[in-house]
Amino acid sequence: MPKVGMEPIRKAALVKATIVEIGRVGSLDVTVSQIAKRAGMSSALAHHYFGSKEEIFLAAMRHILSLYGAEVRGALVVASTPRDRLRAIILANFSPGNFRREVIGAWLNFWVLAQTSPQARRLLKIYQGRLRSNLLSALRPIAGSSALDLAEGLGAVIDGVYLREALKSGAPDGKAAAEVALNYLNAQLKGFPS
């Protein structure tokens, strides 16, 4: 007889194990068996909770996006000016919790999966929409009608920095990554009032 209340604990363990395994391997070429072993359970139990490797991975990305969203919201609460809000968004993207090797690997594989999986594509569009909305909210008071173009460019820079980092070895450098995005932003905002 299963222990009452174990399902959320086991699901959380599988999600964490998925992120670690994808980061270790660097691709979605991990098996449910590898994920389950890392989580300390059988692959049958993993299939029982999620149904497929894709569902486990999507749950892992929902978890990553949830943590990312909470960090962005927390950073925005203490930002007082539009420029502070932009800086807070950028710094949250490259914080130690969001910009670590296994999370970067998960993002890279998420972008690939979104090309073929409608569920992943929908989740990616939600993320992109929230990022765009947050950037636009901060950029409109500064850049007016140029805000959308600036938000799209900054979003592309953030994604590009993740992509470049995924292809490097060694520990990710969130400070250097944030500086790339901040330098781009500062260059784009030169002609606008402070």
**Mind listing the pLDDT tens digit for each residue in 132-179?**
999 999 999 999 999 999 999 999 999 999 999 888 888 899 999 999
Q: Which of 101, 136, 120, 119 is nearest to 22 (CA)?
A: 101
Question: Do the Cβ atoms of 35 and 56 come closer than 8 Å?
Answer: yes
> The pTM is what?
0.90
How much is the pLDDT for 64?
96
Strand residue runs (E) in 67-182: none
Is residue 25 predicted with pLDDT exceeding 90? no
DSSP letter for each residue of 145-157: GGHHHHHHHHHHH
**pLDDT > 90: percent of the chain:** 80
Residue 1 pLDDT > 70: no
First to last CA, the chain: 64
Q: Which residues contact 130 (CB under 8 A, 6 or more apart)?
A: 69
Cα–Cα distances in Å, from 58 out to 18, 27, 77, 120? 10, 14, 28, 7
Mean pLDDT, the chain, rounded, equals 92
- pLDDT of residue 10 exceeding 80, the answer is yes
pLDDT at 103: 93
8 Å CB contact between 39 and 14: yes
Kindly state the average pLDDT of the residues 49-74: 94
User: Could you tell me what percent of the chain has a pLDDT over 70?
Assistant: 98
Q: Say whether pLDDT at 2 is over 60.
A: no
Handedness of CA 138, 61, 18, 1 (dihedral sign): positive
| Segment 87-132, tens digit of pLDDT | 999 999 999 999 999 999 899 999 999 999 999 999 999 999 999 9
